[in-house]
Amino acid sequence: MADDQKEDNAQAGSGKSKLLVIILVVVVLLGGAGAAAFFLLASPPPAGAEGEEPVEEVVIKAPAKYVKMKPITVNFTVNKKQRFVQISPSLMSRDGEMITAIEQNIPLIQNSLLILFAAQDFAELKTREGQVKLREKALTEVQQVMRDEIGQDAVERVLFTGFIIQ
């Protein structure tokens, strides 16, 4: 009889362990299903869904390329004294074909800038505001030259890499 009790206890213990393992597996499966449902239902709606603002596209600009020009020197007479301004312009574009067009038209650009610089007020060129205005006028002038020659604005910016006043 003692052997029968041991056998019954072994079977009861084995049945309890199997039941415990089954319960544990069911709990893990239900937890996984609940987590999956949460992530699927909580994910953002697909693009173009109602109420969603359109996403702005990021535009990556091509690297800037520069054409350095020879310095342009202009003389002024101020209070019966000779004054000089020397400006070293550089032209910026992001298109390689436009750089070639700019380089081919440097003499026209230099001529236009020389005329523009000579028409300025010497006292105004001594101020930062005057120099910024001149740079803006130079950009407009260069863009006009390029529009006349190739039919489009080839220059994005005009930079003064040197500005000497004597």
**Where do runs of H (alpha helix) occur along the chain?**
2-42, 96-104, 106-118, 122-125, 128-150
| 147 neighbors 109 (Cβ within 8 angstroms) | no
What's the chain's average pLDDT? 83
Q: What is the pLDDT of residues 62-118, one digit of tens each?
A: 898 999 999 999 999 888 999 999 999 999 999 888 899 999 999 999 999 999 999
Q: What is the pLDDT of residue 7?
A: 54
Q: 128-150 vs 96-104: helix axis angle to the nearest 10? A: 90
Q: What is the pLDDT of residues 139-151, one digit of tens each?
A: 999 999 999 998 8
Pairing state between β 81-93 and 157-165: antiparallel
Residue type, 66: Y
pTM of the predicted model over 0.75: no
19 has a pLDDT exceeding 60: yes
What are the distances in angstroms from CA 139 to CA 20, 91, 144, 154?
A: 82, 9, 9, 10
Q: What is the pLDDT of residue 65?
A: 92
Q: What is the pLDDT of residue 91?
A: 94
Q: Which CATH number fits domain 65-165: 3.90.1530, 3.30.1130, 3.60.21, 3.40.30?
A: 3.30.1130
User: What are the structural domain ranges in the chain?
Assistant: 1-60, 65-165
CA of residue 122 relative to chain centroid, distance: 37
